[in-house]
A and B are shown apart, each in its own frame.
Chain A
């Protein structure tokens, strides 16, 4: 069975601090895909990244970085020098399909509040 755990329900940081959002997953598949989505207060879902199980390279995109470690079944997300605009709910998700189709499993989300 597939499962995604985001143990941090809510996190508050002061602007410019770094913050890491944890994601731990469970799957029996050898080929799978991990995703992060951002849901700002306006409610829409914004795709951030997809990573497949064969690519453990860390990825950096501006202030965002992702650390994928198969050994610990984790796909953590770090925001460097946080900004107020980063305040949102962040979801980690797992799928065995590259498009994130029918069996996309979401974690319960982490609400990040960045305090000015």
Chain B
């Protein structure tokens, strides 16, 4: 059972380059999320998708776009990367709000992105 899988694990970009981070979950979850984690800060929500076909902005959406390709996959795109977007990016998924679960969001292992 893979859970949430993120690719790539590491990436270095030059300013202005574009990049898509991939995320896939195999738990049949409806909701998926993208977070960024910066030094000394907690995770901040970039975008989320409550269900296939819907996406919504989180706390820090500027400079990013997302696509909920299907129920399993939720990608994050940087159209023109900037040094301020150097961060660790986490994808997560969760069951519907109606469903009770001991474990809320399931997180991937993160993508370490450096923009020079």
List A residues at the B interface (Cβ < 8 Å). 4, 9, 33, 35, 43-45, 47, 50, 91, 93, 95, 97-109
Contacts and interface: CB of A to CB of B under 8 A. Distances in A.
Contacts, number: 74
Contacts of A50: 102-104
Interface in B59-111: 88, 90, 94-97, 99-107, 109-110
User: Chain B at the A interface: mostly helix, strand, loop or mixed?
Assistant: loop
B50 interface: yes
B109 A43 contact: yes
B44 A101 contact: no
Interface string B40-70: 1111110010100000101000000000000
A108 B94 CA distance: 22
29 contacts: A4-B42, A33-B104, A43-B88, A43-B109, A43-B110, A44-B107, A45-B90, A47-B105, A50-B103, A93-B42, A95-B104, A98-B101, A99-B94, A99-B95, A99-B105, A100-B105, A101-B48, A101-B50, A101-B104, A102-B33, A102-B58, A103-B45, A104-B33, A104-B43, A104-B104, A108-B40, A108-B42, A109-B40, A109-B42
Interface of B: 31, 33, 40-45, 48, 50, 56, 58, 88, 90, 94-97, 99-107, 109-110, 112
Contacts of A93: 42
Contacts of B33: 101-102, 104
A105 to B, nearest CB: 8
A47 B44 CA distance: 17
Contact of A107 (B42, B48, B94, B95): B42
